[in-house]
């Protein structure tokens, strides 16, 4: 079949990708073997819009891809290639570009291939893991199932959109967690600078009197803080410390609440504690507005048989309800802090506690 077009027609359509695509689809329709491909492109254009799809150029100024045997350097082994530009569903200002390559035997016996052309999604550079997973869209168990004689480009594009959006939101979450940590470090640095400044007045009060007594942390108490756990923009941070008397619990909690970034969290001090004094075991917990969260932490301490410890989890709500997953993250954040503080070494329990186990800082 002769697929060449005149120079005049090329010049008239090249400036209008939508018109060029329609002409291209019309040519495909002339071949019985390519009718299903042509119909699929037509449907995609009606779904995503006239300007979302255009024939692929391998480089600026090169001919656009054509049907098999077209004299184009963008057509490889008879493959049909076109580019789709789509916006992320929940971030409409962020777009991605996807190359669709259709082999000559599609859809009879071969699936298409999708390739991410975008090198950046938003401000984040695309990594090899995301790039590779999109290439494997139709051959991976986590991708889209393809069956012979069925068209599947739309399903593949939607799958790519979902994965790119999840990848982008994960990057945003990690960036936000980093900002919280930097804000925390800046706050601590600011407090240290202030504490070293002399009083403006001639007061002879002891320097420690500058900090309200109900927020001062006892010298023998050291709080460990685990790495943040981030899920759908919600952030969970676990902290733990050793205590020797129940009276120390409100002192620690007040100290944490005196820090602005903690007090502004949705649930600042979800906590549970156990303290053995003499032969008596004292214990309590507080949900801090997250129903049943405190009792779950208490149960964690109980099954681990850890005494003389206070564990606190802070949660910042990210706008998406997590359902039961929130309790999993609260427990993991607490366990990570317990591991970081060495409390799990008191038990025979296998070390674990989530993806961030053993990471964090002491203060």
CA distance 71 to 65: 8
The whole-number pLDDT of residue 62 equals: 53
Element (H, E) at 257: helix 248-257
Asked if residues 310 and 269 have their Cβ atoms less than 8 Å apart, the reply is no
Place of tokens 């984040």: 124
Contacts of 355 (CB under 8 A, 6+ apart): 229, 332
The whole-number pLDDT of residue 85 equals: 94
Identify how many contiguous H helices and E strands the chain contains and give both numbers: 9, 13
Contacts of 139 (CB under 8 A, 6+ apart): 111
59: nearest Cα among 72, 69, 50, 49: 72
Q: What is the pTM of this model?
A: 0.48
Q: How are the residues of the chain apportioned to helix, strand and coil, as percentages rounded to the nearest 5?
A: 40, 20, 40
The whole-number pLDDT of residue 240 equals: 92
Residue 3 reports pLDDT greater than 80: no
Q: What beta strand segments (E) does the chain contain?
A: 53-55, 80-88, 91-102, 113-116, 120-121, 124-125, 224-226, 229-231, 234-242, 267-277, 280-286, 309-316, 360-362
Residue 158 reports pLDDT greater than 90: yes
Q: What is the pLDDT of residues 188-212, one digit of tens each?
A: 555 444 444 443 333 334 443 434 4
Residue 317 reports pLDDT greater than 80: yes
Q: What is the pLDDT of residues 203-246, one digit of tens each?
A: 334 443 434 445 677 778 888 998 999 998 889 999 999 998 88
- Within 10 angstroms of residue 69's Cβ, the number of other Cβ atoms is 13
Ramachandran category for residue 61: left, alpha or beta (phi over 0 → left; psi -120 to 50 → alpha): left
Is residue 131 packed enough to be buried (19+ CB in 10 Å), middle (13-18) or exposed (0-12)?
Answer: middle
Three-state DSSP class for residue 143: coil
Mean pLDDT, range 276-293, rounded to an integer: 87
């Amino acid at each position: 079949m002769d697929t060449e077009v005149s120079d005049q027609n090329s010049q008239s359509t090249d400036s209008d990708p939508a018109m060029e695509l329609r002409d291209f689809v019309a040519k495909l329709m002339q071949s019985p073997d390519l009718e299903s491909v042509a119909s699929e492109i037509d449907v995609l254009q009606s779904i995503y819009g006239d300007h979302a799809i255009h024939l692929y150029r391998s480089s600026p100024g090169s001919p656009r891809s054509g049907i098999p045997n077209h004299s184009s350097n963008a057509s490889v082994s008879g493959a049909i290639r076109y580019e789709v530009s789509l916006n992320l569903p929940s971030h409409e200002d962020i777009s991605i570009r996807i190359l669709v390559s259709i082999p000559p035997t599609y859809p009879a016996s071969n699936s298409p291939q999708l390739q991410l052309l975008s090198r950046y999604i938003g401000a984040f550079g695309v990594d090899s893991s995301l790039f590779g997973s999109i290439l494997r869209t139709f051959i991976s168990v986590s991708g889209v199932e393809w069956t012979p004689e069925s068209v599947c480009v739309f399903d593949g594009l939607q799958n790519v959109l979902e994965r790119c959006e999840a990848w982008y939101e994960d990057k945003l979450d990690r960036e936000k967690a980093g900002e919280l940590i930097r804000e925390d470090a800046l706050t601590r640095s600011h407090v240290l600078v202030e504490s070293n400044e002399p009083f403006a007045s001639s007061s002879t009060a002891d320097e420690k009197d500058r900090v309200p007594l109900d927020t001062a942390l006892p010298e023998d108490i050291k709080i460990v803080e685990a790495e943040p756990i981030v899920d759908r923009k919600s952030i969970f941070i676990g902290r733990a410390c050793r205590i020797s008397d129940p009276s120390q619990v409100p002192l620690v909690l007040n100290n944490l609440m005196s820090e602005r970034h903690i007090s502004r969290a949705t649930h600042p001090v979800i906590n549970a504690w156990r303290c053995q004094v003499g032969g008596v075991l004292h214990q309590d917990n507080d949900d801090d507005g997250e129903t049943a969260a405190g009792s779950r932490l208490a149960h964690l301490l109980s099954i681990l048989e850890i005494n003389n410890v206070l564990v606190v989890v802070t949660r910042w709500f990210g706008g998406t309800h997590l359902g039961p997953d929130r309790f999993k993250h609260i427990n993991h954040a607490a366990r990570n802090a317990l591991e970081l503080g060495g409390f799990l070494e008191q038990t025979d329990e296998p070390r674990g506690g989530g993806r961030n186990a053993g990471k964090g800082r002491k203060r």
